[in-house]
Amino acid sequence: MPPSRPSRSVAFAPGRVNLIGEHTDYNRGLALPFAIAEGVTVRAEALSGERIEAHARDLDEHDEFALGDRSAAAGWRAFVRGTVAELSAAGLEPVGARIEIGGDLPRGAGLSSSAALEVSLCLALLALAGHAEGALDRIATARLCARVENRGVGAHTGLLDQLASLCGEAQTALCIDFSTLAIEPVPLRLEGWRLVVLDSGERHAHAVSAYNQRRLECTRACELLGVPSLREASSEAVATLPEPLARRARHVLSENERVLATVAALRAGDLAAVGALMNASHASLREDYAVSTPSLEAAVARLLAAGAAGARMVGGGFGGSVLGLFAPGARPPDGAREVRPSAGAHLL
Ligand code: GLA
């Protein structure tokens, strides 16, 4: 039976903060992200023609293309074209639409504005084409959105951002095991503590190439060790790798351990221990994984100088935001924004 089609749809997808577990997703490891309240909203209205007309409200920019047009584009347009192309490739043909993109998530600040855009576009276009919610489950949706990023934009990212945006829950972090894609909700009860993000001011201009290079280093480490992923590597074996591969792999193994320790600390209500684990994660990302920059270091130092119990870069690195954890009574520095674990993507 042909699906019945609404004349409009509206979808919201949040950004994310990763509490801990960085550069583990594409290594079949563990991470502990949460969705935040800020995100991207896509309003779609059916058009009679086989075309997409899109408007990015904050930039006041437009794009228009035929549904079957597969020509490349840059910036936000690559995400719109990529989402249409991936939905078609999955047999979930979108219909002609006028799309309005808005929201309150800063772009390029390391809070997954890209994933929020892909996910909100995907949900809005699916709904407008009459596909039932659930036509694509959340894991399949995350994979489709990641393909937009991998193929359309050229960033060989994992599934962390998309799964966090799709599966977020209020007052909850998600312990994601990327070897099985099992997601375990972990209560994130802050009891007066605060999580804040501070923008380093540096945009990830070179992030794509450096990110892809780290990913290749992990692949090379696995080839040398003869394991399918770093999840199967032991720390003894990793220590035998040539540099910088040994340090890269050591970060991944130690970060997986820190995710488990953070889950245990949260379950025990020990937020001071969570702060110490955040600091250790940042040191490992700086020293072993080498994805920090002077402006990220300066932002972490500002949070610590203001009395943060823990501070670390979030996301791929090379710019973006840092996350700080403040005990009750401690005052975050000017410019820091509080973030709260919030609901995942949904239709409005
Ligand atoms: C970016 C990518 C994610 C993940 C993080 C690092 O946010 O999009 O897939 O790899 O970097 O943890």
Predicted pLDDT of residue 109: 83
| Amino acid letter, residue 99 | I
Q: Whose CA is nearest to atom 10 of ligand 1?
A: 23
**Residue in 25, 60, 161, 177 annotated catalytic:** 161
Letter for the amino acid at 29?
Answer: G
Round to whole Å and give the CA distance between 204 and 114. Answer: 12
Pocket lined around ligand 1, Cβ cut-off 6 Å: 22-23, 25-26, 157-158, 160-161, 315-316
Q: What is the pLDDT of residues 310-329, one digit of tens each?
A: 999 999 999 999 999 999 99
How far apart (Å, rounded) are the C-alpha atoms in residues 168 and 213?
Answer: 29
Integer Cα distance of 147 and 290 in angstroms: 26
CA distance 147 to 154: 9
pLDDT band at 204 (very low <50, low <70, confident <90, very high): low
For residue 108, what pLDDT is reported?
Answer: 78
Report CA torsion sign: 79, 84, 88, 93.
positive
Query: Is 161 marked active-site?
Result: yes
Residue 280: both structure tokens together: 């250790």
15 class by beta-carbon count within 10 Å (0-12 exposed, 13-18 middle, 19+ buried):
buried
CB atoms within 10 A of CB 228: 11
More confident residue, 110 or 292: 292
Q: What is the pLDDT of residue 207?
A: 56
Task: Give the pLDDT band of residue 131 (cuts 50, 70, 90).
Answer: confident
Residue 206 has pLDDT above 50, yes or no: no
